[in-house]
Structure 1
């Protein structure tokens, strides 16, 4: 795996897939489909460099902080943000969008939007344990609906990953999970006529549960989380679950540890013994230490 750089964890078809690039991100690319029970091991080498923006290599190959989830220098981060849907700079986007309600744990439900063509991939990338579509329509109508739920119902549009991780080991049953998100759906449904955009088509309630897809039912509770890599640092273990950008690894000596794969991007990686355990900094789950991003 030498000289390969991880480009992040994706969920294109309901299973976790790691992306890889060689040559600073502009050269050869490949993917690795991950399977629960599979042993993984890699070692970070050198320094962590900016991953660039919108598929382009960082022009100065800037060194970035090891604990940053973004892995971008300030200029590349600005360029990437400027072209994102979240930045509200794409008002004339002709594509159809969907509004969703996503549940991450008791009392943790958010509203968001995603491109209809992406299906539920965005929900898996955020680590949503349960979700339901709420409506579909043009971008601005989806945005107005999102804002309506925030203002009328107090539903946030982002939840920090640290909070999501903290509850994954003790989730309530599927029926209780579905009931909480259905309650919010019915409250949102009652808002029609009170600011609901006419251009947004309401979609029927259907709770989609990802606990099995993530492997959370079979995995034990994680106790610790990696806060960053370092030159020569090794991460190794057996994959027992995955959710959003996180891998849950059963490791030698530390039990089940969460690795946020956003911390891996930007590093040159080499293979390591999958049973070598960890030689990177970790903290107790919920102890912080990662500069989190949105959602």
Structure 2
């Protein structure tokens, strides 16, 4: 019987994205790599725990959960989350940023300065610019100010990000137009917290890093969950945030690697993946009215 591996999620290293496994193992994800695995038949997805600790009861969790945590572990994880606004005494300096994911999809956010651009890569930000630097609570106040003044959110659903990736503007300058305009409006506001130092506009573009360049084939759908006995097999054409864009016989499909955590996974057997390379539930993306999605 093939050895089972438990995925701990996708991480963005200096050399690019890697899948991390239990016991510290990792698998690099260069474009063109064949990604192929199966889910143990009869297996159960179990809670991944919180804050580096195992779930004490190894609770079963839903296949559709991107967090892969039971209610108690999710509560514990959120209790120590900067994003959830439950940490007020973090002494580290923070960056306030504007991030762009596609036309009309701009958000404001904060991240610890020591993390550099890691948070933006994890979110799948196609381009971004820093806005300011300073203490955590001042950064939070600026985030709220910008949400109200610029009318930009602090969260964008992944489904919306995926829907626009195959039709991005062709040059870094074109992709940065929206955040350039918003940056100018933001730094001109009078109500900035005094503890923050505003930073000049310097756009950083991730399209090439992600593989979201001209000619990327539009994905026909996204994996909604893994299931016991199911499999996924395809060639990696792009990686953005936690998402793998995989070319299969049926077309390109998006797999959110957060759905892999908590499962016992094994190397795909010959022929695994079935029709099109995927034998797990897939939700088709909505087509524009009048567009035919299949020949027959």
Using the size of structure 1 for normalisation, the TM-score is 0.91
1:97 and 1:270, CA in 2 relative to 1: closer, same or farther beyond 3 A?
same
Q: Displacement, 1:40? A: 1.2
Alignment RMSD: 1.4
Task: State the partner residue of 2:239.
Answer: 242
Task: State the partner residue of 2:205.
Answer: 209
Name the SS of the counterpart of 1:167 in structure 2: helix
Structure-2 separation of matches of 1:109 and 1:274: 43
**Is the deviation greater in 273-282 or in 162-171?**
273-282
Residue deviations 1:142-172 (CA, integer Å, cap 9, x gap): 1010000011111100000000000001111
| Aligned partner of 1:135 among 126, 132, 137 | 132
Name the SS of the counterpart of 1:11 in structure 2: strand
Name the SS of the counterpart of 1:144 in structure 2: helix
Name the SS of the counterpart of 1:63 in structure 2: coil
Task: State the partner residue of 1:93.
Answer: 90
Using the size of structure 2 for normalisation, the TM-score is 0.91
Question: What is the 5 A alignment of 1:1-295?
Answer: 2-13=3-14, 15-21=16-22, 28-45=23-40, 46-174=43-171, 175-191=173-189, 193=190, 195-217=191-213, 218-252=215-249, 254-273=250-269, 276=272, 277-285=277-285
Structure-2 separation of matches of 1:268 and 1:68: 16
Structure-1 separation of matches of 2:136 and 2:270: 45
Q: Displacement, 1:275? A: 6.7
Q: Displacement, 1:92? A: 1.2
Name the SS of the counterpart of 2:57 in structure 1: coil
Structure-1 separation of matches of 2:270 and 2:245: 14
Structure-2 separation of matches of 1:285 and 1:207: 30
1:14 and 1:134, CA in 2 relative to 1: closer, same or farther beyond 3 A?
farther
Structure-1 separation of matches of 2:270 and 2:162: 24
Corresponding residue pairs, total: 278
Name the SS of the counterpart of 1:172 in structure 2: coil
Specify every segment of 5 or more residues in structure 1 that has no aligned partner in the other structure, as ranges: 22-27, 288-295
Structure-1 separation of matches of 2:151 and 2:84: 21
Name the SS of the counterpart of 1:112 in structure 2: strand
Conservation of the 8 A alpha-carbon contact between 1:41 and 1:271? yes
Structure-1 separation of matches of 2:133 and 2:234: 41
Structure-2 separation of matches of 1:92 and 1:123: 23
Q: Displacement, 1:274? A: 7.9
Q: Displacement, 1:283? A: 1.2
Q: Displacement, 1:215? A: 0.5
Structure-2 separation of matches of 1:275 and 1:122: 37
Structure-2 separation of matches of 1:141 and 1:13: 29
Q: Displacement, 1:12? A: 2.6
Structure-1 separation of matches of 2:286 and 2:78: 27
Specify every segment of 5 or more residues in structure 2 that has no aligned partner in the other structure, as ranges: 288-296
